[in-house]
Amino acid sequence: MRIALAQINSKLGDFTGNSEKILSYTVRAKEKHADLVVFPEAALFGYHPVDLLERPSVVKAQEETLVKLHKSIPKEIGVLVGAIVRNPSREGKRYWNAAVFLEKGKKPKVFAKQLLPTYDVFDESRHIEPGKVADNIFRFKKKRILVTICEDIWAWPLSKNPWYARYGSNPLKKIKSKDVDLVVNLSASPFTEMKFDNRRLVTRATVAHFKTPMVYVNMVGGQDELIFDGGSFALNKRGEVQAQSVRFSEDLNLYDLKAEVGGMREPVREPLECVRQSLVLGLRDFVDKSGFEKVHLGLSGGIDSALVACLATDALGPSKVKALYLPGPFSSKESQKWSAKLAENLGIELFEISIMDSYKKTLSEFEKTFGAKEFSVTNENLQARLRGLFLMAYSNQNRSMLLGTSNKSELAVGYSTLYGDMIGGLMPIGDLLKTQVFDLSRHYNKEAEVIPVEIIERPPSAELRADQLDQDSLPPYDQLDKTIQKLVLGFQPAKTPSEKEILNLMIKSEFKRWQSPPILKVSDHAFGRGRRFPVAHSSFY
Return the number of other C-beta atoms located less than 10 Å from residue 94's C-beta: 16
Catalytic residue among 21, 150, 320, 322: 150
Evaluate whether 108 touches 131 at the Cβ level (below 8 Å). no
Which amino acid is located at 193 in the chain? E
In the complex with a copy of itself, the residue whose CB is nearer, 51 or 270, is 51
> 184 or 484, CB closer to a copy of itself?
484
Of the candidate residues 102, 133, 243, 418, the single one contacting a copy of itself (CB under 8 A):
418
Sheet of 349-352: strand order equals: 349-352, 321-325, 295-299, 401-402
Please give the order of strands across the beta sheet that includes 137-140. Answer: 137-140, 143-149, 182-187, 214-218, 233-235, 241-244
CB of 26 to a copy of itself, least distance (A): 22
Nearest distance from residue 39's CB to a copy of itself, in Å?
Answer: 18
Considering only residues 433 to 452 of the shown chain, the ones binding a copy of itself according to CB under 8 A are: none
Tell me: does residue 57 bind a copy of itself (CB under 8 A).
Answer: yes
Instruction: Please state the closest distance from residue 451 (CB atom) to a copy of itself, in A.
Output: 24
Q: How far apart are the first and last CA of the chain?
A: 57
Q: What is the DSSP string of 247-303?
A: BSS-EEEEEETTTTEE-B------HHHHHHHHHHHHHHHHHHHTT---EEEEE-SSH
Under the criterion CB under 8 A, does residue 520 sit at the interface with a copy of itself? no
Q: Applying CB under 8 A, does 385 fall inside the site for a copy of itself?
A: yes
d(CA 525, CA 515): 18
| H helix runs in 136-270, sequence order | 195-210
Residue selected from 41, 123, 481, 524 as contacting a copy of itself according to rule CB under 8 A: 123
Interatomic CA distance for residues 450 and 408, integer angstroms: 23
Residue with Cβ nearer a copy of itself (162 or 347): 162
Contact residue for a copy of itself among 376, 447, 467, 497 (CB under 8 A): 376
534 lines the binding site for a copy of itself (CB under 8 A): yes
Instruction: From 188-196, 249-257, 390-398, 475-483, give the range in contact with a copy of itself by CB under 8 A.
Output: 390-398
Q: Which is nearer to a copy of itself, 140 or 390 (CB)?
A: 390
> Is residue 431 at the binding interface for a copy of itself, with CB under 8 A as the rule?
no
Q: Which of 19, 34, 35, 46 binds a copy of itself (CB under 8 A)?
A: 46
Nearer to a copy of itself, 52 or 201 (CB): 52
316/450 with CB nearer a copy of itself:
316
Residue 17 neighbours by CB under 8 Å, 6+ apart = 11
Handedness of CA 30, 33, 38, 39 (dihedral sign): negative
- What's the DSSP call for residue 105? T
- From 41, 151, 225, 499, active-site residue: 41
Cβ atoms of 408 and 433 within 8 Å: the answer is: yes
Residue 342, strand partner residues: none
Shortest distance in whole angstroms from residue 346 CB to a copy of itself: 20
Asked if 158 is part of the footprint of a copy of itself (rule: CB under 8 A), the reply reads no
Question: Using CB under 8 A, which of 106, 166, 238, 337 touches a copy of itself?
Answer: 166
We find the least distance from the C-beta atom of residue 507 to a copy of itself, in angstroms, to be 9
Q: Is 30 a catalytic residue?
A: no
Question: What DSSP character marks residue 156?
Answer: S
* 150 belongs to the catalytic site: yes
CB-based contact 225:518 (threshold 8 Å): yes
Q: Total number of residues binding a copy of itself (CB under 8 A)?
A: 98
**What backbone torsions phi and psi does residue 387 show, to the nearest 5 degrees?**
-60, -45
User: Does 86 engage in binding with a copy of itself (CB under 8 A)?
Assistant: no
Contact criterion met (CB below 8 Å) for 387 and 421 = yes
Give the footprint of a copy of itself on residues 282-341 (CB under 8 A).
285-286, 289-290
Interface residue with a copy of itself, options 118, 159, 336, 485 (CB under 8 A): 118
**In the annotation, is 486 catalytic?**
no
167 binds a copy of itself (CB under 8 A): yes
Work out whether 349 is an interface residue with a copy of itself (CB under 8 A): no
Is 533 a binding residue for a copy of itself by CB under 8 A? The answer is: yes
Q: Tell me if residue 521 falls in helix, strand or coil.
A: coil
Distance of CA 408 to the CA centre of its chain: 15
Enzyme catalytic residues: 41, 113, 150
